[in-house]
Amino acid sequence: MTTWSIIIPALNEAAGIGQNITTLRALNAEAEIIVVDGGSSDATADLAQTAGAQVVMSERGRGPQCNAGAAQAHGEVLLFLHADTRLPTDAFPLLESCFSDPNVQIAKFRLSFDSNDPILALAARLMWWDSLLTSYGDQGIVIRRSFYQELGGFPAWPLFEDVRLFELARARTSVHVIPAEVITSARRFTANGAIPQLLHDMWLWLQYVLGVPPTQLAQSYAQGPAFG
């Protein structure tokens, strides 16, 4: 059996982190769960620890937080999971089947949102395949620890660290897509409007491709759409 480490970068996720960990533990009682707190001002770290996760404190930013968690992980395969993303109930049987093939180095799940908005449903469906435009951390990044180390881990970026890791991996192997959907929170889209947020995200991605530094783009990401 494969050994698993689930790494969750978190910032001010007290409202849901405890239940998230309880749910993950029900899916796989043996998996190592590491919550990497980026300096929360709420009780995220305490609640995660109470729920049974190992808590690691880190510099803020998904890239640094993911790397800090991976440095403490012992599993053969690492699963990087956003704090507001839920795995399907059959996640680990599917992952065991996928990673039983020694040629599989990295995988992601299909995406869905916890929303009935048809625009978001279409956007999620378009991201079921792997490409530079359609693979992100909110789909879950599942990677052999040895391959993650070969790639040098995530860049120490606050944004698009996931896109870059997929890019590095894609240059060496195929990114497999697990035939099941994670459920990701639509809270940004609910707050800002589905179309304005999608357009904003696309604009940020285009700037990234054109070479704008992710540290600069992160400021715009945090502010959200300026229209809508």
Tokens of 193: 């409007």
pLDDT score for 13: 97
Q: Is the CATH code 3.90.550.10 the one for domain 4-191?
A: yes
Integer Cα distance of 31 and 224 in angstroms: 35
Cβ atoms of 202 and 228 within 8 Å: the answer is no
What residue ranges in 39-165 does DSSP mark as E strands? Answer: 54-57, 77-80, 85-86, 106-113, 141-144
With a cut of 70, which residues of the chain have pLDDT below it?
A: 226-228
Instruction: Identify how many contiguous H helices and E strands the chain contains and give both numbers.
Output: 10, 8
pLDDT score for 227: 45
Q: What DSSP character marks residue 81? A: -
CB atoms under 10 Å from CB of 130, counted, come to 19
Q: Which helix (H) or strand (E) holds 10?
A: strand 4-10
pLDDT score for 158: 87
Integer Cα distance of 164 and 56 in angstroms: 23
Integer Cα distance of 37 and 140 in angstroms: 18
- Domain-by-domain residue ranges, the chain? 4-191
What backbone torsions phi and psi does residue 98 show, to the nearest 5 degrees? Answer: -65, -50
How is the beta sheet containing 106-113 ordered, strand by strand?
A: 54-57, 32-37, 4-10, 77-80, 141-144, 106-113, 175-184, 85-86
pLDDT score for 1: 78
Tokens of 30: 């043996």
| CA-based nearest residue to 43, from 21, 6, 11, 8 | 11
Helix pair 118-125, 194-209: axis angle to 10 deg: 30
